[in-house]
């Protein structure tokens, strides 16, 4: 049975249109999901929208619309963004879905039964923009004496009778978790921040509100709706109407058992589920402190990892978010530069886990240099040459070393260039390192891929197939072409998670059937002979990565 892997993004607040930060998170999660599918895992990928809470109520009021209409309209835009960007989600979870409510209430009841909920008066600072409570010591003072949260958003003093969750009870168990499973919070810097925060002492948190009703009703407690973060975090285990969500607390256990199974380890503790929550750095505390405490309270397994990616900043390193009004529309960018170019740029440019910045010139420069000039050009010149010089089909490898390379029996990352004397000269071909992707070093993975592309282009120059043809050196020519064809096959398969459409088009041109494009196919020793024996002929290729024009209306 194949290994299960469940990956989630944060669910976005649909109080405005999606911005490039949302697109970045969805694209990164999609690349990871596709990587694991190609590696043979049974993957489930969920994204969605976080529709309750005061922020949504206030936005609807400001716009003069019903909050339900706002949610529907905006949530649809988030889903449309995912579809445009080729995000391969299995479920788009909306928190206004009735079945989500069933799951949230089931989780609440379990937390209540554990003795972790009590009623008390809450008096403290609240940021509507972050939908978060803060302690006095965390605040700073901004212009005109306005108190600000650590995220720089204004806070207001709130006094209400609310339900409290005994977070303080979980302090030691959380610290033990961070110590015993360092991979639980990544990257390392974010883990340190969380540990310092928890070591500083945890207070119980307010988990219901009575001053508005746009939320999930607290079971058996009229007038109380759940604090939006309890509701939002539960999306990871909740169900959708269609039961396409995991369905915790509903009558359908299938997906929950598959992707979030309750299994005890040898120590009698619940084993972590193979779940990755990919989120931005501003909400790590909710995912790495509150969420595991809620799960411990409800006696549910913890996820394997919370990964806090960095922020995408506008030119000059300025923060970009809808509340600051300098948002960039990802759909416009995708229309202007192409979906795969945008995906490639974001994943290659930003060191994954760190902040990074974006500009139209940077997209054009990077995509032209690496996709159009390097990879596109490699594919274009090799395939045109094959199309012209081998009209009757691909050549077969002449030398044993080349055959072994094609069949992946030798080090299929190939360390040779073909010498004039028909021997193999040792040369260095960098490897595409797949474990980097497993470690979420996405940008470095792409870099090793690019190094390999550059080396292959050099291989073309060194072996000059057109000269070999002119000089009638057929044996060497055949081996050079077989080698290059094998490389392009490998490079196209490897890069699918990043640029799925373009890689797919190239694999179509190569004649590789759809069901032979997984990473397991890279270990198949018969692919080349089968392709040769097929009726596929390399047609004059159409360029897959046309050069981008530098925009004149640079914003
Ligand atoms: O936080 N660059 O929703 P949200 C990169 N509803 N990522 C960014 C970003 C930027 N400039 N701005 C935001 C919420 N993000 C909650 C989540 S999850 C149970 C509830 C990321 O719409 C942000 O860090 O404000 C978060 O991971 C995601 O976009 C949604 O942000």
Of 60, 62, 26, 20, give the one whose Cα is nearest residue 45: 26
Neighbour tally for 328: CB within 10 Å: 17
| Residue 41, both tokens | 């895992």
CA distance 72 to 70: 6
Is residue 413 very low, low, confident or very high in pLDDT (cuts 50, 70, 90)?
very low
Atom of ligand 1 nearest to the CA of 322: 12
> What angle in degrees, to the nearest 10, is found between the helix axes of 171-180 and 188-199?
150
Ligand 1 atom index nearest CA of 22: 29
Mutate to test the pocket of ligand 1, among 7, 11, 18, 22 (most ligand atoms within 8 A of CB): 22
State yes or no: pLDDT of 319 exceeds 80: no
- Across 225-239, 314-328, 332-346, least confident range: 314-328
Residue 412 pLDDT grade (very low, low, confident, very high; cuts 50, 70, 90): very low
Looking at ligand 1, which atom is closest to the CA of residue 9?
Answer: 27
| Ligand 1 atom index nearest CA of 13 | 22
456 within some domain: yes
Structural domain contains residue 372: yes
pLDDT at 418: 54
Residue nearest to atom 29 of ligand 1 (CA): 22
- Helix, strand, coil % in the chain, rounded to nearest 5: 50, 15, 35
486 alpha carbon to ligand 1 midpoint, in Å? 41
Q: Are 291 and 299 in contact (CB under 8 A)?
A: no
* 349: Cβ contacts below 8 Å, ≥ 6 apart: 356, 358, 362, 366, 443
| Confidence grade of residue 249 (pLDDT, cut at 50, 70, 90) | confident
What average pLDDT does the structure give for the chain? Answer: 92
Q: pLDDT, tens digit, for every residue of 349-387?
A: 999 999 999 889 999 999 999 999 999 999 999 999 999
Confirm whether 496 is domain-assigned: yes
Å from CA of 119 to ligand 1 middle: 30
Q: Which atom of ligand 1 is nearest to the CA of 279?
A: 27
**Candidate from 7, 8, 9, 10 with most ligand 1 atoms within 8 A of CB, to mutate:** 10
**Contact (CB, 8 A) for 509 and 541:** yes
- The Å distance, Cα 12 to ligand 1 centre, comes to 6
Both tokens of 436, joined, read 């980097």
Does any ligand 1 atom lie closer than 6 A to the CB of residue 494? Answer: no
- Tell me the range of 138-142, 368-372, 417-421 where mean pLDDT is highest: 368-372
Which among 13-27, 134-148, 251-265 has the top mean pLDDT? 13-27
DSSP, collapsed to helix, strand or coil, labels residue 19 as coil
Predicted local confidence at residue 555, as pLDDT: 46
- Say yes or no: CB of residue 12 within 6 Å of ligand 1: yes
Residue nearest to atom 23 of ligand 1 (CA): 280
**What confidence score (pLDDT) does residue 553 get?**
61
Spatial separation of the C-alpha atoms in residues 373 and 473, rounded to whole Å = 28
pLDDT at 383: 97
Question: How many domains does the chain contain in total?
Answer: 1
Q: Give 503-529 as a DSSP string.
A: HHHHHHHHT--GGG-SGGGGG-SSHHH
CA of 78 to the centre of ligand 1 (A): 12
In the block, which residue shows the tokens 């990964």?
307
CATH number at residue 387: 1.10.730.10
Residue 98 Cα, ligand 1 centroid: separation in angstroms? 24
| pLDDT band for position 462 (cuts 50, 70, 90) | confident
Is pLDDT at 240 greater than 80 in this prediction? Answer: no
- pLDDT, mean of residues 421-443: 72
Ligand 1 lined by 29 (C-beta under 6 Å):
no
pLDDT band at 292 (very low <50, low <70, confident <90, very high): very high
The pLDDT > 90 percentage for the chain reads 80
Tell me, yes or no, whether 295 lies in a domain.
no
Tell me the C-alpha distance between 97 and 15, whole Å. 17
Ligand 1 in reach of 56 Cβ (< 6 A) = no
- Ligand 1 atom nearest to CA at 233: 19
Gap from CA of 462 to ligand 1 centroid (Å)? 48
Which residue has the CA at smallest separation from atom 24 of ligand 1?
A: 280
Q: Give phi and psi for 63, each to the nearest 5.
A: -85, -10
Question: H helices within 200-245, ranges in order?
Answer: 228-233
Ligand 1 site, residue 23, Cβ cutoff 6 A: no
345 C-alpha to center of ligand 1: Å? 20
CA of 81 to the centre of ligand 1 (A): 15
Inform me whether the pLDDT recorded for 512 exceeds 80: yes
- In order of 31, 381, 450, 483, the CA distances from 375 in angstroms are 19, 10, 8, 16
Nearest CA to ligand 1 atom 10: 21
**Ligand 1 atom 12, closest CA:** 21
Residue 70 CA: distances (Å) to CA of 15, 241, 325, 362, 368: 8, 20, 19, 35, 40
Average pLDDT over residues 162-172: 98
Range of the domain at 421: 361-533
pLDDT of residue 203 exceeding 70, the answer is yes
Q: Is residue 208 a part of any domain in this protein?
A: no
Residue 105 lies in a domain: no
The pLDDT, as a whole number, for residue 107 is 97
Residue 285 domain-assigned (yes or no) = no
In-domain check, residue 101: no
Q: Is the pTM of this model over 0.85?
A: yes
Does ligand 1 lie within 6 Å of residue 285's CB atom? no
Residue with more model confidence, 296 or 413: 296
Closest ligand 1 atom number to CA of residue 236: 19
Portion of the chain with pLDDT greater than 70, in percent: 94
- If you measure from the C-alpha of residue 70 to the centroid of ligand 1, how many angstroms do you get, rounded to a whole number? 19
Q: What angle do CA 397, 534, 504 make, to 5 degrees?
A: 90
Look at residue 549 and tell me whether its pLDDT is greater than 70: yes
Which two tokens mark 259? 């992707």
Q: Which range has the worst mean pLDDT, 126-140, 320-334, 462-476? A: 320-334
* 282, 308, 351: residue to mutate for ligand 1 pocket, most atoms within 8 A of CB: 282
């Amino acid at each position: 049975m194949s290994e299960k892997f469940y990956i989630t993004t944060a669910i976005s607040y649909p109080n405005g249109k999606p911005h490039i930060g949302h697109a970045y998170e969805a694209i990164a999660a999609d690349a990871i999901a596709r990587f694991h599918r190609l590696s043979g895992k049974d993957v489930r990928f969920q994204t969605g929208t976080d529709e309750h809470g005061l922020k949504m109520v206030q936005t609807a009021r400001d716009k003069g619309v019903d909050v339900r209409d706002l949610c529907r309209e905006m949530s649809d835009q988030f889903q449309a963004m995912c579809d445009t960007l080729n995000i391969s989600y299995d479920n788009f979870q909306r928190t206004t879905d009735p079945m989500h409510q069933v799951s949230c209430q089931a989780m609440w009841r379990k937390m209540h039964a554990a003795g972790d909920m009590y009623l008390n008066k809450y008096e403290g600072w609240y940021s509507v923009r972050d939908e978060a409570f803060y302690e006095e010591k965390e605040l700073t003072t901004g212009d005109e004496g306005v108190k600000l949260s650590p995220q720089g958003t204004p806070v207001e003093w709130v006094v209400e009778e609310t339900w409290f969750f005994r977070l303080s009870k979980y302090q030691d168990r959380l610290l033990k978790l961070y110590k015993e499973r360092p991979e639980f919070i990544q990257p390392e810097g974010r883990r340190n921040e969380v540990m310092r925060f928890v070591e500083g002492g945890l207070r119980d948190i307010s988990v219901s509100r009575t001053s508005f009703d746009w939320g999930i009703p607290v079971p058996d407690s009229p007038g109380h709706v759940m604090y939006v973060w309890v509701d939002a975090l539960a999306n990871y285990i909740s169900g959708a109407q269609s039961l396409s969500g995991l369905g915790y607390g509903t009558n359908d256990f299938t997906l929950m058992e598959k992707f979030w199974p309750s299994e005890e380890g040898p120590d009698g503790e619940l084993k972590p589920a193979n779940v990755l929550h990919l989120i931005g750095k501003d909400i790590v505390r909710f995912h790495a402190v509150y969420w595991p405490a809620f799960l411990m309270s409800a006696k549910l397994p913890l996820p394997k990892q919370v990964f806090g990616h960095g922020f995408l900043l506008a030119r000059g390193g300025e923060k970009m978010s809808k509340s600051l009004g300098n948002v960039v529309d990802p759909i416009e960018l995708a229309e202007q530069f192409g979906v795969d170019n945008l995906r490639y740029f974001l994943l290659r440019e930003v060191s994954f886990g760190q902040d990074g910045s974006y500009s139209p010139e940077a997209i054009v420069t990077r995509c032209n240099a690496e996709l159009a000039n390097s990879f596109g050009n490699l594919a274009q010149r090799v395939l045109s040459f094959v199309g012209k010089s081998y009209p009757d089909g691909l050549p077969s490898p002449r030398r044993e070393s080349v055959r072994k390379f094609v069949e992946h029996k030798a080090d299929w990352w190939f360390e040779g260039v073909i010498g004039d004397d028909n021997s193999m000269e040792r040369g260095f071909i960098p490897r595409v390192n797949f474990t980097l992707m497993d470690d979420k070093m996405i940008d470095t993975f792409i870099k090793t891929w690019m190094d390999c592309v550059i080396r292959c282009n050099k291989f073309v120059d060194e072996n000059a197939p057109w000269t070999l043809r002119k000089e009638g050196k057929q044996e060497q020519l055949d081996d050079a072409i077989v080698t290059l064809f094998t490389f392009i096959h490998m490079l196209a398969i490897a890069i699918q998670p990043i640029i799925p459409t373009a890689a797919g088009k190239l694999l179509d041109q190569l004649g590789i059937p759809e069901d032979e494009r997984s990473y397991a196919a890279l270990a198949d020793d018969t692919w080349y002979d089968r392709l040769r024996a097929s009726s596929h002929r390399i047609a004059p290729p159409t360029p897959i990565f046309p050069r981008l024009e530098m925009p004149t209306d640079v914003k």
